[in-house]
Amino acid sequence: MPAAQFDYIAPTTVDEAVAALVNGGKDTRVMAGGTDLIVKIRHRMLFPTCIVNLKRIAGLDAISVDKKNGLTIGATALLADVAANKGIRRHYPTVAEAAGATANVQVRNMGTVVGNLCNASPSADNAPTLMAMGATVDIAGPSGGRSMPLDQFFQGPGVTALETGEIVIAVRVPPPPAGSGTAYHSLSQRGKLDCSAVGVGTMIVLNDDQCTDARIIVGACAPVPMRTRAAEKMLIGKRMTDTLIRQAAQTASEETSPITDVRASASYRWKMVAVLAIRALTDARQMALRKSTSK
């Protein structure tokens, strides 16, 4: 089969990128880092007629950490830069850890957090933590800009809520609530070199030792990264004991609907959701308690 042939456009403004997408039609693809897109083209899984590269648009690689406005990660900000950013590591450590756990060094030096989200893989390493922390995506399109909660962005494997001509220009994370703790744990066959077979991201908020809010997001065990709302409800308003954490983790596992594929069996995934949820909730509790004692 011959190599794919396509037009290549490198706009210098967001408006130019949007226009190129509209003019290019349904087979036009956006490239930020290209780590997923190029692989799919090489393996004849995708046959774009045009690629719109965002790398030349000034400011899209920006990372901003602001006490009032929270964290902003631009569309072309590299995974490696997010993982190494001092402000993120201090105020959003789990966001940095998730970026640093994505694939391997080569991918992290090319790939982007926003690209990882827009690929819409159920196993995307960056989605669970960002969803747990209430992230939103900024979207630009032919009708102007809009914002959308990240947990509404994913529509299915490889499918997002983006409409024709739209691109994500940034992901935003609000300031962490007082008394909050976060954590992310994942498993893959080759020590995080592969896509995650299971991933769990959590955020809990404590008032003394009582949980006032909880979010548990599971990746790779449903068509999209999913909130396990019944498990969250079990925690809210109660003391987060080890026994309660184990019970909530088991409920989280029962809420998922994993499949068997090349990465893991469904039965293994069910078991590992409970294991990783215990670890993530325990670590999130420890972070929250550590914050409260350091005031």
167-173 vs 70-74, strand pairing mode: antiparallel
Contact 276, 246 (CB under 8 A): no
CA–CA gap between residue 202 and residue 211 (Å, rounded): 13
Contact 214, 235 (CB under 8 A): yes
Contact 35, 103 (CB under 8 A): yes
3-state secondary structure of 295: coil
Closest CA to 213 of 188, 196, 238: 238
Contact 92, 175 (CB under 8 A): no
CATH for 7-53 is: 3.30.43.10
CA–CA gap between residue 42 and residue 16 (Å, rounded): 27
226-227 vs 210-219, strand pairing mode: antiparallel
Q: For 225-246, give one letter per residue: b (16+ CB within 10 A) or e.
A: bbbbeebbebbeeeebeeeebe
Q: Tell me, what's the pLDDT at 208? A: 87
pLDDT in tens, the chain (295 residues): 566 789 999 999 999 999 999 999 889 999 999 999 998 898 888 999 999 999 999 999 999 999 999 999 999 999 999 999 999 999 999 999 999 999 889 999 999 999 999 999 999 999 999 999 999 999 999 999 999 999 999 999 999 999 999 999 999 999 999 999 999 999 987 655 568 999 999 999 999 889 999 999 999 999 999 999 999 999 999 999 999 999 999 999 999 999 999 889 999 999 999 999 999 999 999 999 998 776 5
Both tokens of residue 220? 């790779």
CA distances from 88 to 58, 60, 69 (A): 21, 17, 13
Q: Tell me, what's the pLDDT at 193? A: 59
Global pTM reads 0.95
Q: Tell me, what's the pLDDT at 219? A: 97
CA–CA gap between residue 188 and residue 134 (Å, rounded): 25
Q: Which CATH superfamily is domain 180-293 in?
A: CO dehydrogenase flavoprotein, C-terminal domain (3.30.390.50)
Helices then strands (H, E): number in the chain? 12, 14
Domain with CATH 3.30.43.10 in the chain: 7-53
CA–CA gap between residue 220 and residue 252 (Å, rounded): 13
Judged by phi (left if over 0) then psi (alpha if -120 to 50, else beta), residue 259 lies in: beta
Closest CA to 71 of 50, 46, 44, 98: 98
Domain with CATH 3.30.390.50 in the chain: 180-293
Residue linked to tokens 């959308």 = 148
- DSSP assigned state of 179: T
- DSSP assigned state of 162: P
Helix (H) or strand (E) holding 280: helix 266-293
